[in-house]
Structure formats: structure tokens, C-alpha cells
Structure 1
Amino acid sequence: MIRNLLRNGRVEKNLKLKELAAQADIDQTLLSRFEKGSRMPTEKQLNVLGEILGLDMRAARVEWMADKLVGMVQYHPEAMEALRVAESRVEYLTSKKVLDSPSLSEGLALKLEKLDALKAQWAARPVLSPSQLHRMHAFFDVEYTYESNRIEGNTLSLQETALVVNEGLTIGGKSMREHLEVINHSEAIAFVRGIVERKEDLGRRSLMEIHRLILKEVDTANAGRYRQVPVRISGSETELPQPYMLDKLMEDYFEYYEVHRLRLHPVILAAEMHERLVSIHPFIDGNGRTARLVMNLILLRNGYTRANIKGNTESRMHYYRALQSIQEDNNPEPFYQLVTDESLRSIQAHLELI
């Protein structure tokens, strides 16, 4: 129990409660309650105390999490069932199984063949002039910004989004946050395009910069930073990792990319990196927009056009259900199908435009 670790650590350091309270800047009465087990320290308080007492922080976090879990479920008759469900979700996120290559159904493989044939047509297109290229980017960028923000609840219409992006106008009756979300997303698309043009790969630096742009002036303190607090997804039962797990999970995330970027079909890799990011949920906000930009960075990097998942109610629910089929049932097929279908629609639209 964490109370025993804290008390034994203090005794071994020959510290009185008053002395430890002064060093940790934690109320002495609260420290006493930690040691008695009547109160639990926050993760930040645990880290401070662990550093002062020289605790094995991995062991301390395990005990801390175990105590929290017991406190949550000890009086519930469904406790064991809930723990089994949580165990399967944590195993998916932390085990080496997440480095395995996924298998594809015959139907999905045929779709990918069709997509690759269209990709070849796209690659063989006539060279576009700078003005043609600019107009094409402007058309698809505005639509993508509109749909991606719409998924997250932004109420600006497609026309209003275009006016904000292209004319710098302010739309009456709409919040400053909604305007910033449009401007930020447009800048993030330009950043992603720059990565592709420079032939750079996805990495921690590029991910953090994408997220920084998404939250710039919306939540500057958390822009481009992993979250420091636990979060839940509204309306979802999916358990999200605790903050102390994020560094390791994100190391695994980038390891997966390095292992599979030359092994998986690029569309499947894009879908995987999208889903894995939202399942880890490393940021306090902006995870969905960032994950979709990461997906499209990978698609563009490999010669495809952007997959633009629609934000209307039916499409949004289909998108959420496809993600949940992986997170809850470990079935990636619906999400692979969704990303492939959107990639097909996108490349067909691009070919028709030129």
C-alpha cells in the first residue's frame, strides 16, 4: 500500500512529519492522512514525495494505482467484471502485441488495389502550374478544415470556414474559439504539407508541432505538451491511460511507426497511427484533429491524397463506432474500411478536379 511506502520512506530518511511537510510544501495534517490511508496523494504529490524520500517510483506508482483501483471498485458487485474489461484494454495499449502487423480481409485488399491504381493515375497527372496547385489546395484544405472541426463540434459552416480562412473575416454570432480552431487547423495543414515537401517523416517533434498549432491561443499552456491529468472521453466507456503511462506509450507509438512504415500498406499504417493516437489520448484536447492530421501526413507522404472524414451526424457516429470496434473488440477492420473508403473518395475527387 502507498501509505506504507510513504511512512517507511520517511522513517528511513529519519524525517519527522513536520520536516517532510516543509520540504514537500504539503500540509502536515494531509501528510498524516496519507500515511494512515484515509487520503490519497495526487500524482503530483506522489512524485514530490517520492523524490524527497528516494522511492522506487515505478513501485510507488504501481501501489498508488492499485490503491486507487481498490478504492473505486471495492464496494461494487461488478468489480471483478469491470477489472477484467479494464485489463483487456490496458493490455492492448501496453503489450508487445501492439507491434504485430494486422491482417487484411480479401475485400479490403481489393479496395487497396483499386486505390493504388488510382494513385498511379494521380502520380501520372499533368504538372500543375503554381496557380492551379494553389487553387486545388485552397479548395480541399477548406473542406478538410470544415469537416475535421465539425467532428469536434465547431459550428461554422463550410462557407463561413472559407471566409475565415481565405478572407480573414469574423463571423457574427460565432465564438472566438471557433474562429481560432479554423485558423489553427489551416496553419496545421500547411505545416503538414511542408513536412511532406521536405520528405520528412513522422516523429515526436512533428507531432508536438502539429498539436501546438491546433491549440495555439485556444489553450496555449497545453499546446504541444502531453497531458498531466487524467481525462475521460464524454459519452464513452473507454478507459484512457493515466498521465504517468504516456511517455512509455508514446515511445511504443513511434516505435510502431518505425517498425511498420516500410512493411504495412501506407493506408493501413495511416489508419493505425490515427487510431493508436486517439486510444492513447496523450493530449488534454485536440487529440482527434491531431490524429487525423497524422493520418493524412502519412497518406500524403506516400503519394495519396487526404482522407477527409465527414462531420455530419451519421458519418461522425460511423467514425466513432469504427474506432470503438478496435478499442473495445480489438477489431480494426471497420476502421481500415472507413479510412480506405475515404481515401478512395478523395483521390477520385482530386482526379475529377484536374
Structure 2
Amino acid sequence: MQPIEEALALKEELDALRPLTKEQEDIIMQKFRLDWNYNSNNLEGNSLTYGETKALLLHGITAQGKPLKDHFEITGHDEAIKWIEDLVKGDYPLTENFIRELHTLLLKSPYEVKAITPDGQPTTRRIEVGQYKTAPNHVKTKTGEIFRFATPEETPAKMHDLLTWYHTKSSDLETNPIILASEFHYRFIRIHPFDDGNGRTARILMNFILMKYGYPPVIIRTEDKENYFFALQQADAGIIEPFITYISQNLIRSLQIMISGAKGESINEPDDIDKEIALLEHRLKSSSEVLKLRKTKEVLLDVYDNSVAKLWNAFLIANRKFDRFYIHTKAALNLDAYRFESNTAFVEGREILERYDDHTAFNRIYMEYRFERFNRENFRNFDYYSIIIFHFDLVDGYSVEYQGKKLKKKYGMQLTEKEVESIITTISKAHTEHIEKEMK
């Protein structure tokens, strides 16, 4: 049986086992999410191991010595997966706005990367999120030839054509969803519409299409990347069938996992035990380090890069929603006696923390957002002050104080996405209630 036919047969077997219980779906999708997050990012050079990825997503444990950007790539990718998991349950259309929003979720915020100018000189290039590329992103092949993607000028029209093609195909009842999803992946990569993140975006969009048709996601394993890239290169040469076959083979693996889970059988794979051992070693190492950690420069920078950063960004986004109600607003980040009010406050704060004289004497970081003069007519003028404070103990760890509440964390343990969301929800609700009280 050909791979695509085998996948269709397994899909029928899976459909006969539906509906799955919520517990079955949760167990299966957690495995898919972890594998998907690790492999898709590792394919693009992310340094986090499978164990470190799992520790970050399930327990909020950051990997010592690994770049902050690598952690953000994993958490952004996880947010994007969860987003499309919700969307496939409804009739959400695939549009260019959807793709740009997905790209924004993945990459979170603009950043700079090293690049080479056309005349071979080193430079830096700013990567924008949720926007089509503004500079060519051609690549040099192993033979030294330049393989050209769509130019920035061509990209909007080509993306419009891609979506038109997709909607025509998806509205045809005779369309094979496996071929549709695979071909969409390749056509998207052939355009390469963004400055960065095209591979991750293409794989998520392919899986979004498959999941809309009731298939599980395809996981391209990092150890199989040579076969994956070779299949893409064959498609570049005009031979797309090997790529569709490759996607079908990996879909078979996902279908078999989902069928086993639907039957109540174990969905652990042979290499899962190796992953679990790696995770156990990571936990033991982390626990050991937590017991020894004191307030040092490295420990403070770890908290700053991985907890303060997440909360500061969320704090600004949440408070800016209230700007329109006041005449003047101002945000500031304070590190002990140092105060920063510019757009680069976080970077300036890190520079101060980096060269602080005595890190054992460093006590607190607090972020504030001042709202001055309520601007609605027929209501009394009033101000509002939103604040979050990080306190740093010598040995015990750090705490986050907000709206009369306090969250304590050990050094080496970072704020999770849920904790950040809870803090932001609390301060936003408090602000809303204050406005309502003043307007009565």
C-alpha cells in the first residue's frame, strides 16, 4: 500500500474510534505539542533539548546558560499551537491576516540578526513580526548557486494567489487533504514571505489544514531533517511527489499514535524513555542548583531575562489598553535607585544590572505605569498608579508583589505563562474596578 493510501485507511480506523474522551485527547495532544515544539524549533537551530523544552512548558523551568531568544521561540511556538487547536474546532478561515497573526505569535517581537550585505560585508538586519519581508531572503545552495524565493515586491501578490489557490482546492469535495496540506506547505516555503520563521510557520499551517480535516499534526523529527530538506529540494527541482510521500509517511506515524491513544494503549515511543531520562537528569540538576543558588550576578540576570522580561512586556501591553482614558500616561522600570522611562528601559536596566557594584546588595525591581487625569467629560478627574515589585532575598529566592498579593519563587525557577497571565489579569481587573468606582 502506498503511504498516502495507508494514511487514508488509518484515518478511517481513527474515525471509527471517535469521539475520544477529553482525557484521551488531552494526553494525546500534550504528546504531540511537546514533540512538535521541540522538533520544529530544533530544526531551525534552537538549542533547547527535549527535556529542557518539556521542563519549560510544563514546569516553567528555564535552561541555565541557554539564550533567552531560544526560550521565547519555544513559548511563542507553543502559544501558536494552542491557538490553532482552538481555531480548528470552529470554521475559522485561512487568510493572509490569519497567517500574519500566527507569525506574530511565533516570533513575539522584533529582533536583530547578523547578516551579510550584497557586497559581502557583515551587518545586522531587523526582523519584523507579522509583516511580509522588506529585503530579499535568497539562499546559497551546496553547489554555490543562489536559490531565489519571491522578492519583497512579488510577495503580497504571490501570497494572495496562494490563498486563492487554497480556497479553490479546499472547496472541492474531491480534494485530498493530505496532498492539499503538503502542497500548501511547499508553495508557502517557495514564497518565503517573512524575514524569519518561514519553516515553523509553514509546518503549523500545514498542520492547521490537516487538523481541520480531522487528522493529527505531522511532526517532522529533527533527527530526520536531512530527508525532510532533501524532499523539499526535490520539490524545488519540480518533483513534488517525494515531498508529499514524505509528509504522508510522517502522518502515518501520528495516526498510529492517535489510534493507540484512542484505544487506551500506551502512546510512548521507543525513544520516549531516553527523553524522560534526559528530563529527569535536568530536573535533578535544576533542583540541586536551586538548593545552592544565592543572589549573584548570574542568578539576578537569569531572573531578569526570563521572568522580568515576560512580565514587563505583558505589563506594558495590558496597561496601554487604558491609555485612551487618560490625558497623560507614563511607564517606568526601576532597579533600586535607577529609573528608566524610555522605550529601551528594559535594555538600559539590564546594562545597569550587568555592571552593578555589589549584587548581594541589590534589593528590588519595580515596574510602574502612571495614569494622570481621567479624560471623560462629566466625571471627576482622577489618577491611577499600576505597579509590580520584584523583591530579591539573599538565599531564599525572589517574590513578585502586586495588588496586595505576593508570589514567591526559588532562584532558578522562572515565572510560568499562567503565572504571568494571572498577575496581569489581576492588575487589569483592579484598574477596571477603580474606574467603575470613580464613575459612580
The alignment's TM-score, normalised by the length of structure 1, stands at 0.65
- Mapped partners of 1:128, 1:301: distance in 2: 16
Residue 176 (1) aligns with residue 84 (2): no
Alignment partner of 1:254 is 2:254? no
For residues 1-354 of structure 1, the aligned pairs below 5 Å read 110-217=2-109, 219=111, 222-233=128-139, 235=141, 237-261=146-170, 262=172, 263-312=174-223, 315-327=224-236, 329-354=237-262
- How far apart in 2 are the matches of 1:184 and 1:294? 15
CA distance in 2, matches of 1:124, 1:335: 29
Aligned twin of 1:32? none
User: In the aligned structure 1, how far is the partner of 2:160 from the partner of 2:107?
Assistant: 23
Structure 1 gaps, min length 5: 1-106
Question: What is the aligned residue count?
Answer: 243
In the TM superposition, what is the alpha-carbon distance from 1:128 to its structure 2 partner?
3.3
Instruction: Output one character per residue of 1:152-203: Cα deviation in whole Å (capped at 9) or x when no partner.
Output: 0112111111111111111101110110111011011011112201122321
Letter in 2 for 1:164: L
Instruction: Decide whether aligned partners of structure 1 residues 148 and 166 sit closer, same or farther in structure 2, where only a CA change above 3 A counts.
Output: same
Deviations 1:12-71 (A, max 9, x none): xxxxxxxxxxxxxxxxxxxxxxxxxxxxxxxxxxxxxxxxxxxxxxxxxxxxxxxxxxxx
Note the C-alpha offset of 1:216. Answer: 0.5
User: Alpha carbon RMSD of aligned pairs, Å?
Assistant: 1.7
Q: CA deviation at 1:300?
A: 0.4
Change (3 A) 1:172 1:235: farther
Q: Secondary structure at the match of 1:243?
A: coil
Question: Against the structure 1 CA distance between its residues 218 and 147, is the aligned structure 2 distance closer, same or farther, given a 3 Å change threshold?
Answer: farther
Q: d(CA) in 2 for partners of 1:289 and 1:111? A: 24
Structure 2: unaligned runs, 5 residues or longer? 112-125, 263-440
Amino acid at match of 2:210: L
| Distance (whole Å) between structure 2 residues aligned to residue 295 and residue 241 of structure 1 | 20
Secondary structure at 1:308's aligned position in 2?
Answer: coil
Q: Which residue of 1 aligns with 2:117?
A: none
| Contact 1:145-1:186 within 8 A present in 2 as well | yes
**Structure 2 residue aligned with 1:103:** none
Partners in 2 of 1:116 and 1:339 — Cα distance? 13
1:309-328 alpha-carbon deviations (Å, 9 max, x no partner): 1112xx1111111111111x
Q: Secondary structure at the match of 2:17?
A: coil
TM-score by length of 2: 0.53
Q: Is the 8 A contact 1:180 1:218 kept in 2?
A: no
- Taking the aligned partners of 1:230 and 1:193, their CA distance within structure 2 comes to 32
Paired position in structure 1 for 2:301: none
**Partners of 2:18 and 2:194 in 1: CA distance:** 41
Aligned to 2:298: none
Give SS of 2:166's match: helix
